[in-house]
Structure 1
């Protein structure tokens, strides 16, 4: 009886996939483009979720996994609609024909991923649907490396001479994880968050190629002090992402 019930559930699941209903399922995660580069997108990894990957005809793109992660098995419902090549932690995909709508299971040396694949026609690579790279971000790694230090510096920030600081910062993203103040002193960058935030988002700097890197930081008074400058920072908490821009350096370039 248990097998019959499981089979019935599986058939119902397949029916939804064929009808296209899975696109609207709450367990489906869609890629989010970076605010400073809309040709690169991110998936936040969650076990037991499905990732919607939309390819574009005439263009190839790739999925970037965690450093050191390698594909061991790639299984597809209908492989005739895609050309797929994997190298290291990157999976290169190119849709071939009208049979691109299918599912894919990716098993690596670290995790298992479930994808819902599809493809569409676009007029040019400027179309917002065209991503050159889709990266996975792993919340477990973020939380383990970016917990707020239980160290409170005794000294407060000296604002007696405001001209020493650059307050020309802006951000793009949800306000619920946004800092209320951002500035730098020419050496370090300061983030102040509202007291209602129980957890501080993870902070990454973004290099000139659009890649995120870890930062060293400390707590000073009400501020998270990131011990570096950057044209762009990325703030992440769960599935929420904010891009912070140093508007002064942007004007100088």
Structure 2
């Protein structure tokens, strides 16, 4: 069971994702007037269809800060695949007419599933830009003096954080005394990923902002999800929180 499933089970909202999920293909849509540049929203339970053409290179661009670790291709004789030096973009070029193949991309944040086709449509595809729901919907702290305290907790444990907040650059976890759990980020597929963290007293500082975290000791875990509406510029609140930051 991944962290998203644990979160759903603890808060008892809805049905289990695995029992009700509907698997489908997602076809990229046009970004503007030129249909050769397209965009698609990532979903961990869907397959992204990319329509390619002979003698045309298609670039698949992932999210900012996402680095590709491995690419698996079903039909390596029908497609030429290259990961660019930025580790963020994949070049796809078919070499066989009417070819079709699956492709799986593993990154430092998630796993993406693709269906590659050749000649399925008349319109060439030059670029496919992947966007992510958490990046579109996650609240942002714009004012440098504001703090975002909008975090929802699921799970009970002695190491459950007393509070979680961010200053727009770092996320802070205030822990009970004498506990030192591990903090993980949660990727788009619902699995734990390592984060860059430092500790000072009872405060754990994690670089960057993510939509979901887990705080864990052994098999016990507390799930934390960022929600909208938590940003505040109240001087009293900002003063208390900033005094705990480092």
Q: TM-score, normalised by structure 2?
A: 0.45
As a proportion of its length, which structure holds more helix?
A: 1
Q: TM-score, normalised by structure 1?
A: 0.43
- Which gives a bigger RCO, structure 1 or 2 (Cα 8 Å, sep 6+)? 2
